[in-house]
Amino acid sequence: MGLLRDAGIAYRLRWKRRRLLYRALRKRHQLTSVADRTGQIAPGAILAAATMRNEMVRLPHFLNHHRRLGVDHFLIVDNDSDDGTQEYLAAQSDVSLWSTGQSYKLSRFGMDWLTWLQIRHAHGHWCLTLDADETFIYPHHDTRSLRALCEWLETNDRQSFGALMLDMYPKGPLKAQTYRPGDDPFQQLCWFDGGNYVMQKKPDLQNLWVQGGVRARFFFADRPQQAPTLSKTPLVKWNRRFAYVSSTHSLLPRRLNRVYCEEGGEILSGVLLHSKFLDVVVEKSAEEKERREHFANSDLYESYYDGLIANPDFWCEGSTKFVSWRQLEAMGLMSRGGWV
């Protein structure tokens, strides 16, 4: 019975992947090219893909950090920004940019658009798929390039790389410090919750489902099962037949979700430092509460947005101050695995 059940799951997931790819094919007509520089993408180039809206405050740091790591070209969808995001991106020589005014929610939170761009431009490339408020780090990221990481992964027959999204926050009310574009956001957002994480393995997609951090503590203490998911697989050696299922939390084929060790050891993994809680989140939360584009069941998150609009102070005596990736490794939030 176990073999029959597994075969049934595999069959359903194959059809699910085909449906996701077909969705992306249909949604390609929602994209308008603003600056197509994909002809510059060389064989072996490392790519980054993102959908964003009104992220001008974060863009200089987002682009420069990932350029320093070794991203060669960015594939970006701008979802109807009106704060200068589109104009700024269009002027960047290593960015190919598309725009759309269509619903972020109805495009599977931007994944339909990105899947189409990855089908067209990312096949055979290592590709980082990120949100604008995510900063990718990994063991030795300060001394070893993203290309070195990808080469190690390929040498060890790995096509995907997992990361924990770590919610970072300031000490004091969110609006107490003003962030200036281009600065390192983690000079202000230098605190995190270090030990309140729970994990389960999803039986169908075989991905890890990690919840916890400051959002679980502050907003979902009475309903922890509804807290945001923090486990992601942002770095993949892309193939045009791949598709993310739920943001970058899971993807198909499901073998790509096995970015963990089941034999009691450790496997190389990273962290996505999450800069959501800059001072601008207070005003943006009021806008997003009205737009209702960021959650499948927006009614469940009314209190979440209300809490952010109230300009909270997340810091507590149990908060941990961020020092370096080595600290995160020592705490078990990332791992060097065999990459020493």
Q: Please give the helix or strand (H or E) that residue 295 lies within, else none.
A: none
Domain coverage including residue 240: 2-330
Judging by beta carbons within 10 Å of its beta carbon (0-12, 13-18, 19+), is residue 324 exposed, middle or buried? exposed
Q: Inform me whether the pLDDT recorded for 299 exceeds 70.
A: no
Q: Please check whether residue 128 is in contact with residue 46, taking contact to mean a CB–CB distance below 8 angstroms.
A: yes
Q: Which two tokens stand for residue 207?
A: 């991905």
Q: Which residue has the tokens 């005014």?
A: 101
Domain presence at residue 294: yes
Which of helix, strand or coil describes residue 18?
helix
Q: Please give the helix or strand (H or E) that residue 110 lies within, else none.
A: none
Domain presence at residue 338: no
Domain presence at residue 46: yes
Q: CB-based contacts of 229: which residues, under 8 Å, 6+ apart?
A: 209, 210, 211, 246, 249
Q: What is the pLDDT of residue 293?
A: 56
Q: Inform me whether the pLDDT recorded for 300 exceeds 70.
A: no
Q: What is the CATH number of the domain that holds 167?
A: 3.90.550
- Per-residue model confidence as pLDDT tens digits over 144-202: 999 999 999 999 999 999 999 999 999 999 999 899 999 999 999 999 999 899 999 99
Q: CB-based contacts of 320: which residues, under 8 Å, 6+ apart?
A: 191, 192, 193, 194, 331
Q: What is the pLDDT of residue 285?
A: 77
What is the band of 207 on the pLDDT scale with cuts at 50, 70, 90? Answer: very high
Domain presence at residue 340: no
Rounded to whole angstroms, the Cα distance separating 140 from 126 reads: 18
Q: What is the pLDDT of residue 104?
A: 93
Rounded to whole angstroms, the Cα distance separating 185 from 84 reads: 20
Average pLDDT, integer, range 229-256: 97
Q: What is the pLDDT of residue 338?
A: 86
Q: Please give the helix or strand (H or E) that residue 64 lies within, else none.
A: helix 59-69
- Per-residue model confidence as pLDDT tens digits over 71-120: 999 999 999 999 999 999 999 999 999 999 999 999 999 999 999 999 99
Q: What is the pLDDT of residue 292?
A: 64
Rounded to whole angstroms, the Cα distance separating 111 from 109 reads: 6
| Sign of the alpha-carbon dihedral angle for 67, 72, 77, 82 | positive
Q: What is the pLDDT of residue 5?
A: 78
Instruction: Report DSSP letters for 296-321, one per residue.
Output: TTGGGGHHHHHHHHT------TTEEE
Q: CB-based contacts of 13: which residues, under 8 Å, 6+ apart?
A: 204, 205, 252, 253, 254
Percentage of the chain exceeding pLDDT 90: 82
Which among 244, 290, 285 has a CA at the least distance from the CA of 118? 244
Q: Please check whether residue 219 is in contact with residue 97, taking contact to mean a CB–CB distance below 8 angstroms.
A: no
- Per-residue model confidence as pLDDT tens digits over 7-20: 888 889 999 999 99
Q: Which residue has the higher pLDDT, 203 or 68?
A: 68
Domain presence at residue 194: yes
Q: What is the pLDDT of residue 125?
A: 98
Percentage of the chain exceeding pLDDT 70: 96
- Per-residue model confidence as pLDDT tens digits over 35-71: 999 999 999 999 999 999 999 999 999 999 999 999 9
Report pTM.
0.95
Domain presence at residue 219: yes
Domain presence at residue 156: yes
Q: How many domains does the chain have?
A: 1
Domain presence at residue 213: yes
